[in-house]
Structure 1
Amino acid sequence: MMRPSFGLAAVASVDSAAPSLDTFSASDTYQATKFKIFDVVLELLENQNISADASSARQIRTTIDEAINAYGIREGLALNTLERVWLADDVYHEITGLGPLEPLLRDPLIDDIIVNGARRVYVERGGTLSLVQARFRDDAHLMTIIQRIVSPIGRRIDESSPYVDARLADGSRVNVIIPPIALDGPMLSIRKFRPEPITGDEYVRTGAMDHSMLDFLSNAVESRLNLLICGGTGSGKTTLLNMLSGFIGDSERLITIEDAAELRLRQTHVVRLETRPPTIEGTREVNARDLVRNALRMRPDRIILGEVRGAEAVEMLQAMSTGHDGSMATVHANTDRDALFRIEMLLGFGGLQADLRTLRRYISSSIQLIVHVQRTTDGRRRVTSITEVIGLEGDTITLNQLYRFAPDSPLSGDGVFEVMSRRPFFAHRLKRPITYATRPGTP
């Protein structure tokens, strides 16, 4: 969107061309003006005993308009209606919101926001990272915004605890790391979460899977097969987990366990649990293993673990193998077999002492399906493999790949979906007959 000729922009540049909103808001003159008005508004709100938060939105808006009028008259700046609205919104976001991040969070085309210090902000659109003009006044300004993110959910960030995982009110995932660990200033990463979970039809339409794969996965979820989703960072594991959870019946009692709550289940009987980090004294921590143990006492029909990354793997498999069929989890791994190796390693971290064959029998009897998702070189996310865990032969877990994505070349994001086996081992447990696409390939 192009911004019209602006009084402040004219002061900042003699270029008569109308600057874009990003370029305009990044100018030193604009930033200085915004924060002068911001300081005046805060003082006025304090004098009027008005709280500087969204609960006093109308009074804050009125005060901002008055401050802009007074400043424009005093400094001789002519502002048209659109310009005044932009400036007022920016000041309002500084007072009640997340400052320069607000326009980026509201942009539906942006998937990720990455802040590398006060002056460098990147966004990801359609799988591509690009530098934007948004910026913070300084590191202190950025730290103020960070504290607004972490404080409402009971997280803390300071020199003694220099990194934290958090979430926004809409479920977006946040990671923060600050000096002295981050050498170039505070670093902030936001993985935006869609207000409405992506649907299976959208997965097919975007080429993330084909109709046969969607039909099989929905059938598997409805039939209560235990499912493990694996993939690398940013591959779309949680998004896929969220979509597949939509095929669970509304009559079931579901318990979700996450480090930062971002799953949005649509069922009515959902209990959401979230881990808690230790206090500055190192006490009061509640980890995922504690929550899984407690969830087993809460009469769940299914347990959905946002990510298994530690000793909670023991309790997760216990839930999957002792009457909580249809449970689901995600794990970081590059292939389906790597996912099993990682679970095996995590069982050791959990203190499960047994010989290798016993561990692998425990794993193979608990997990029925592994779904691998991958982010391709062009930024697209695809389901690249659906594999059954059949059992144990000797000391080796036997797998049966049902579907796969075959790329045109190792570096290509294009390719076709292929049916690898038409005789699933767990076919007898499926509620519906399996259907296959009449022709292979992406939509």
Structure 2
Amino acid sequence: MWNVRRSDDAARLRPGLSESIRADEPSYPQENDRKLALKVSIHRKLLDKINLAALDQFTREQIEAEIKDIVLELLESQRELLNARERQELVTEVLDELLGLGPLEPLLKDQTITDILVNGPDTVFVERGGLLEKVSTRFQDDKHLLRIIQKIVSAVGRRIDESSPYVDARLADGSRVNAIIPPLAIDGSTLSIRKFAKQRISMERLVELGSVPVPMAEVMKAIVRARRNVLISGGTGSGKTTLLNAMSSFIDHRERIVTIEDSAELQLQQEHIVRLETRPPNLEGKGEVSQRDLVKNALRMRPDRIIIGEVRAGEAFDMLQAMNTGHDGSMTTVHANTPRDALARVEQMIGMSGIDITPRSARTQIASAINVVIQVARLMDGRRRVVSLSEVTGMEGDTITMQEIFRFKATGRADDGTVLGHFEATGIRPKLLNDARAYGIELSAELFRPELQMN
């Protein structure tokens, strides 16, 4: 018979934690607070009764069967009267606390939620359908929240404390996490989780959702197949990574792709992929590996394409160098509100590289390297759209020239708040037609007719 109960001579918990386990539990006047306190109390006492090292050897179902008996014993010793449903809920919540991320587990399992935003122990918001709403989830106190944060960051070999009070990390399922704690977070520890989509979103799905019209999707497919270099621009939560994932599905499976990210979240569908992730400095401030370091190293790995999750600093210069020296078809994203702003942001990042280069030379590099800029946005109703597809055509004097091929034109709002509008072609015949033809891809001129409105 297996069991996870700890023996008397088992190793004690790490110093400091055992004292908090034995500390008197606070009393709460409200029912919800009483249940939360009971759950935390049971969890703490449970840690003294089980062998944590044994948990990895068994399934959640096996652990649940054993834990259920222990929880019932503890409830009886505390003279807590709960019905069958309440007991099962308590067992589930204690298991979430023991094996998962405590109060966050139900939110992580809810497929309708895309973002979880914890603003201190008592305030939690989620995003559903592009709109924020407050939920009843809460933590017992800031120490409880901090313990969950420590659990997240330690699992990926990172740390968070007063000397390093903010961190980027990821969960086991790939969800992206940012945490910041006091003294920088004034009202308590703050946690932001961008959930990792369980299902890869294809271009077909984006068309179904109305984020991309069919003609634009056809052009995007040709852009990738014709190995054009792509910059996807947009604000936070606008769908940049989602679009990058969808477009990457058009890359030939025979190509070698190297991805570079601060926190791995890309879901490429090819077989030949090398995924690289940055590393923060250690406690002594050494050992940091930046995106720029990884871009330089990627050039020695014989990549056919390089994909950077997001350019933020000097790595933009190295990315442009790669695009200009035989790694056509590379892609990246940038935070910006318009295609023109996106190019200006890249120019600023070149300045962060420490390379002594004139503004005109920097713009020449950009105009030569980047072929297409795609702008995505989250509209006022929460829906995400590709609002512009533009082509970089070259230089006129000191200015990078662009021409917009497709755009989304908003026309108003419905009574329920839905943004009304349509996609339209500008009527400009892109250089892409000739580039695609060189790769054996024929694009119909009908796709670019200005009178063609796409709902």
TM over 0.5: same fold? Answer: yes
Match among 393, 411, 419 for residue 413 of structure 1: 419
Query: Secondary structure at 2:281's aligned position in 1?
Result: coil
Q: Does 1:375 align with 2:384?
A: no
Q: Which residue number corresponds to residue 19 of structure 1?
A: none
The superposition leaves residues 135-167 of structure 1 with CA deviations (integer Å, 9 ceiling, x where unpaired) of: 111111111110111112111100000011111
Deviation, 1:52, is: 4.7
- Whether the 8 Å CA contact 1:44–1:63 is kept in 2: the answer is no
What does residue 77 of structure 1 align with? 81
Residues 387 and 401, structure 1, Cα contact 8 Å, conserved in 2: yes
Question: Which deviates more, 422-431 or 169-178?
Answer: 422-431
**Matched-pair contact (CA < 8 Å) for 2:261–2:277:** yes
1:221-252 alpha-carbon deviations (Å, 9 max, x no partner): 11110000001111111111111111111110
1:405 aligned counterpart, secondary structure: strand
Deviation at 1:171, TM superposition (A): 1.2
SS at match of 1:197: coil
Residue of structure 2 equivalent to 1:429: 435
Q: Distance in 2 between matches of 1:53 and 1:178?
A: 30
Aligned residue for 1:312?
A: 315
Taking the aligned partners of 2:429 and 2:147, their CA distance within structure 1 comes to 57
> How do residues 113-262 of structure 1 correspond to structure 2 at under 5 angstroms?
113-262=116-265
What SS does the aligned partner of 1:406 have?
A: strand
Q: Which amino acid aligns with 2:83?
A: L
CA contact (8 A) 2:424 2:452 kept: no
| 1:338 counterpart residue number | 341
Q: Greater CA deviation, 83-92 or 410-419?
A: 410-419
The 2-side partners of 1:121 and 1:197 are apart by: 27
1:99 aligned onto 2:102: yes
Question: After superposition, what is the alpha-carbon deviation per residue over 1:173-197, rounded to whole angstroms, capped at 9, x for unaligned?
Answer: 1110000000111000001110122
The equivalent of 2:36 in structure 1 is: 31
Q: Is this contact kept in 2: 1:386–1:402, CA < 8 A?
A: yes
Distance in 1, Cα, partners of 2:57 & 2:100: 8
Separation of aligned partners in 1, 2:102 and 2:56: 13
- The aligned residue for residue 362 of structure 2 is 359
- Partner of 1:51, secondary structure, is helix
Unaligned runs of 5+ in 1: 1-10, 14-23
RMSD: 2.1
For 2:82 and 2:342, the matched residues in 1 are separated by 62
Across the two proteins, how many residue pairs are aligned to each other?
417
| CA displacement, residues 12-34 of structure 1 (integer Å, 9 cap, x when unaligned) | 88xxxxxxxxxx8xx01211221
Contact kept? 2:276, 2:294, Cα under 8 Å:
yes
Amino acid at match of 1:418: E
How many Å separate the matches in 2 of 1:428 and 1:439?
22
Aligned to 1:17: none
Q: Distance in 2 between matches of 1:32 and 1:100?
A: 12
Give, in angstroms, the shift of residue 422 of structure 1. Answer: 4.2
2:14 is aligned to none
Q: Secondary structure at the match of 2:453?
A: coil
Could you tell me which amino acid in structure 1 is paired with residue 320 of structure 2? L
Structure 1 residue 73: deviation in Å? 4.3
With 300-309 and 236-245 compared, the bigger mean Cα shift is at 236-245
Match of 2:49 among 39, 44, 49: 44
Does the residue aligned with 1:374 lie in a helix, a strand or coil? strand
- Kindly provide the CA deviation profile for residues 268-297 of structure 1, in whole angstroms up to 9, marking residues without a partner as x: 110000001112221110000000000000
Query: What is the match of residue 295 of structure 2?
Result: 292
Give the Cα–Cα distance (whole angstroms) in 1 for the partners of residues 114 and 107 of structure 2: 9
Q: Percent identity among equivalent residues?
A: 51
Cα separation, 1, equivalents of 2:286 and 2:403: 45
Secondary structure of the 1:65 match is: helix
Indicate if the aligned counterparts of 1:118 and 1:139 stay in contact, CA closer than 8 A. Answer: yes
d(CA) in 1 for partners of 2:159, 2:59? 26
Structure 1 contact 226–368 (Cα < 8 Å) conserved: yes
Give the deviation of 1:42 after TM superposition.
Answer: 1.6
CA–CA distance in structure 1, aligned partners of residues 261 and 205 of structure 2: 25
Looking at structure 1, the residues matched to 161 and 419 of structure 2 have their Cα atoms a distance apart, in angstroms, of 41
Distance 1:79 1:198, change over 3 A: same
CA distance, structure 2, for counterparts of residue 51 and residue 38 of structure 1:
17
CA distance in 2, matches of 1:56, 1:403: 52
Are residues 78 and 426 of structure 1, via their aligned partners in 2, closer, same or farther at CA, if it must alter by over 3 Å? closer
Secondary structure at the counterpart of residue 112 of structure 1: strand
2:377 is paired with a residue whose SS is strand
Counterpart residue number, 1:440 = 453
Secondary structure of 1:119's partner?
A: coil
Report deviation, 1:169: 1.3
Counterpart-to-counterpart distance in 2, 1:367 and 1:157: 38
Q: Name the aligned partner's letter for residue 442 of structure 2.
A: P
Q: What is residue 321 of structure 1 aligned with on the other side?
A: 324
- Would the aligned equivalents of 1:40 and 1:67 in 2 still touch at CA under 8 Å? no
Please report how far the alpha carbon of residue 441 of structure 1 lies from its aligned counterpart in structure 2 after TM superposition.
Answer: 3.1
Instruction: Find the residue that maps to 1:255 and give its secondary structure.
Output: strand
| Equivalent pair of 1:54/1:96 in contact (CA under 8 Å) | no
Deviation at 1:36, TM superposition (A): 2.7
**TM norm structure 1:** 0.90
Deviation of 1:57 after TM superposition, in Å, equals 3.5
User: Contact between 1:167 and 1:260, CA under 8 Å: does it hold in 2?
Assistant: yes
SS at match of 1:175: strand
